[in-house]
Amino acid sequence: MPSTVVIDVPASVPAETPTEPAASGRTIARTAVGIATWAVLALAVAALAAVALGPRLGLFQVETVLSGSMEPRFQPGDLLVVVPEPLSEVRAGQVLSFHAPTPDHRVETHRVVRVINPGPHPVIITKGDANSAPDPWRARLHGTTAWRMVAVVPAAGSLIPAAASRHQRPHQ
């Protein structure tokens, strides 16, 4: 009887290939781009949340400038960011938004030139920077806070009416 011969052949072992520098560089670049994309997305979501929630929480308000009375500080079409200021901290030199003591009670944003009666309901004299004389009234501030201007976004207020008009139906 013939004898059977068994030959053990080792399984093939893949040859080790050194990591190519170009391949690892591409992996690092892809990872960096992915991280940067997520970071930009996270910042955009945070900014959108702040803009949407800030006014609702009373942290700030935005106002569109309608006149040139405060030029060159800001101009018609600019967007102002105003924050609450305790009435007890109202000082000359601040730019405040308040309801003018006029029949229409329009919102004015002018510089305080003098605080006549400091305290819980101060009386202020205001003036637009572009105006030659103070406003023709003395405004008594009511409530607990005034709105102090902290930032100007040039021309951004012009975008609001343009965006709104695109979403309105024509009058019939």
170 within some domain:
no
Across the range 94-101, mean pLDDT stands at 92
The sign of the torsion formed by the CA atoms of 160, 161, 166, 170 equals positive
Structure confidence at residue 12 (pLDDT): 62
Residue 172 has pLDDT above 60, yes or no: no
Residue 96 has pLDDT above 70, yes or no: yes
Q: How many domains does the chain have?
A: 2
**pLDDT tier for residue 29 given thresholds of 50, 70 and 90:** confident
pTM above 0.85, yes or no: no
Structure confidence at residue 16 (pLDDT): 57
One domain for residues 33 and 109: no
- CATH code where residue 120 lies: 2.10.109.10
7 within some domain:
no
Q: Write down the residue that tokens 């940067």 correspond to.
A: 36
**Which residues are known to be catalytic?**
67
Across the range 68-96, mean pLDDT stands at 91
One domain for residues 123 and 142: yes
More confidently predicted of 44 and 171: 44
One domain for residues 82 and 129: yes
113 within some domain:
yes
Share of the chain above pLDDT 70, in %: 78
Peptide bond into 72 cis (omega under 30): yes
Please list the alpha-helical segments (H only) found in the chain: 21-53, 159-166
Q: Which domain holds residue 29?
A: 21-53
One domain for residues 103 and 43: no
End-to-end CA gap in the chain: 109
- Residue 54 is encoded by which pair of tokens? 């800030």
85 within some domain:
yes
pLDDT in tens, 142-151: 888 899 999 8
One domain for residues 73 and 125: yes
Across the range 31-39, mean pLDDT stands at 89
One domain for residues 102 and 150: yes
Contact 73, 94 (CB under 8 A): no
167 within some domain:
no
One domain for residues 39 and 112: no
42 within some domain:
yes
Beta-bridge partners for 84: 147
